[in-house]
Amino acid sequence: MVARKLELRRCYGETAWIYDQRYEEIQRGKYSLIFPILPHVDRILDLGCGSGLFLGALAKRGRLIVGADSSPEMLEIAKRRPTRAALLLADADHLPFADQSFDVIVSVTLLQNMPNPEITVREAARVMKLGGIMALTVLKRKHSPEELEEWVRGAGLEPLEVVEEGEDVCCIARR
């Protein structure tokens, strides 16, 4: 588990410089699907925020925005954006936050990287407030809508919507 995470961290580190060039358009499309359903809240976490493509938009929905990612190189790129988000180096399976810290959690194309996504969703649910909203996407060539829904239910969340869109499955859930 640790070896896989370290290997991924190395891969994202080596390719961080070219991430936006390769993926900005497609990733912005994913975020723009999620954005309209996000309520105006106090605290938002972008889990696996990568180069920070969504942090600017999230700032229109929350007072405190936190972007967490395990790649220092991706976070370096995020830091260069004109964002007021707090950026944090962290493993999504071990978040350095108290229970019920966030009103909204978004996580776009992170879960297929995780050795056990069920654990990751459970950890995200732990730091989300009761009544909070979580928006998750995962690559559908790696995981099915049924799997995503199962992780969400296993974490004690109520799936409100599970849709396939482009290369992803997206789930909106409430705690």
Ligand X SMILES: C[S@@+](CC[C@H](N)C(=O)[O-])C[C@H]1O[C@@H](n2cnc3c(N)ncnc32)[C@H](O)[C@@H]1O
Interface positions with ligand X (CB under 6 A):
5, 8, 12, 27, 48-50, 53, 69-71, 74, 91-92, 108-110, 113-114
- By beta-carbon proximity to ligand X, the closer residue of 27 and 83 is 27
Cβ 53 to ligand X shortest distance, Å: 5
Amino acid letter for position 82: P
Nearer to ligand X, 57 or 92 (CB): 92
For ligand X, the nearest residue by Cβ is: 50
Q: Are 116 and 154 in contact (CB under 8 A)?
A: no
Distance CA(127)–CA(144), nearest Å, equals 25
Cβ proximity to ligand X: between 12 and 102 the closer is 12
Rounded to a whole number of angstroms, the minimum distance from the CB of residue 20 to ligand X is: 8
Q: Any idea how long the chain is?
A: 175
Report in angstroms how near the CB of residue 108 gets to ligand X at its nearest. Answer: 4
Q: Which is nearer to ligand X, 27 or 101 (by Cβ)? A: 27
CB 30 within 8 A of CB 109: yes
Q: How far is the CB of 30 from ligand X (least distance, A)?
A: 6
Strands in 158-165's sheet, in edge-to-edge order, are: 86-89, 62-69, 41-47, 102-108, 128-139, 168-174, 158-165
Nearest-angstrom CA–CA distance, 162 and 48: 20
